[in-house]
Amino acid sequence: MTVYERIRVEPISGALGAEISGVDVAGELDAATIGEIRQALLEHLVIFFRDQELSVARHKSFTRRFGDIFVHPNYQLGQEDKEMVYLLRRPGDTSVAGEKWHADTTMTATPPMGAILHALKVAEYGGDTLFANQYLAYEALSDGMKEMLDGLKAVHSDIRVAGPQSDVNAKRSSQVRDDANWRPTVNAHPIVSVHPETVRKCLFVNPVYTMHIEGMTEAESGPILNFLYDHQCRPEFTCRFGWKPGSIAFWDNRCTVHLAVHDVFDRVRHMQRTQIAG
């Protein structure tokens, strides 16, 4: 475990996740502090901050300390600020963004390396977010399965989560593009990815964006992918984070999947999120 001098790091589970304290992310942080935050992210895969006051400008400034801001193609609805995504749930919504296990925006040619989500308004209870460690998911596979997956790619598309055919906007307050000019974004990625910083192998599939294994039909690749979807979120690979106003979650999108628990239906939930380019 790394010894930290500028921040306090307290793990929240055996699989992944740590709460970071002793730092104001809205402040002017020096390079050494940013370096320790990045190291904590690499070590724990998802890190959390409490009681943070973060304006849009400071949220984006903090994000840029880790890379360029990724502009999400499906949340471009004519707004002036294209870099910030607002995730809103209102009473009566029957669906919420992110309620199935996924990594973010994996249909792009270079998926985001991470995301920083800040809670503006949340319910007194419920609405937790679950995260799962995809290093552990890969390492727990049998040698035979690892050998079979080696070299295979999966095709990813956003056809289930945007566009007029998805019908998601009728169910939730967080709206996405569904205009007639929308076209799906489709790219293939290795099923077993090598993290560019840790050089560890991890699974890189998810049931939201992954469509089929390249070179196979959906029917042929379905049993393999369905096994991986069930396997990648086994309880021993996960942590759970309970939100409060001012909380921040910062996750490594390259080696985790996550899920928003939709268990509070009569409260408003308002979050703001940036993503970091891969």
Stated as kind and residue range, the H or E segment containing 42 is: helix 31-44
Options 59, 72, 102, 177, the catalytic residue: 102
DSSP state, residue 114: E
C-alpha pair distances (Å), 32 with each of 29, 198, 237, 263: 8, 19, 30, 39
Quote the longest CA-to-CA distance of the chain.
53
Can you read off the two tokens belonging to residue 174? 């967080």
> Is 212 annotated as catalytic?
no
Can you read off the two tokens belonging to residue 149? 């997956």
Residue carrying structure tokens 């990045």: 38
> Is 258 annotated as catalytic?
yes
Can you read off the two tokens belonging to residue 198? 């840790």
Options 118, 254, 258, 262, the catalytic residue: 258
Report the distance separating Cα 137 and Cα 233, nearest Å.
8
Nearest C-alpha neighbor of 169 from the set 97, 119, 235, 99: 97
Options 44, 104, 212, 262, the catalytic residue: 104
Report the distance separating Cα 72 and Cα 190, nearest Å.
22
> Is 68 annotated as catalytic?
no
- Give the strand pairing for 129-133 and 114-121: unpaired
Report the distance separating Cα 137 and Cα 69, nearest Å.
28
C-alpha pair distances (Å), 228 with each of 49, 145, 157, 189, 207: 31, 10, 18, 15, 9
Can you read off the two tokens belonging to residue 9? 């790091």
Catalytically active residues are 102, 104, 258, 273
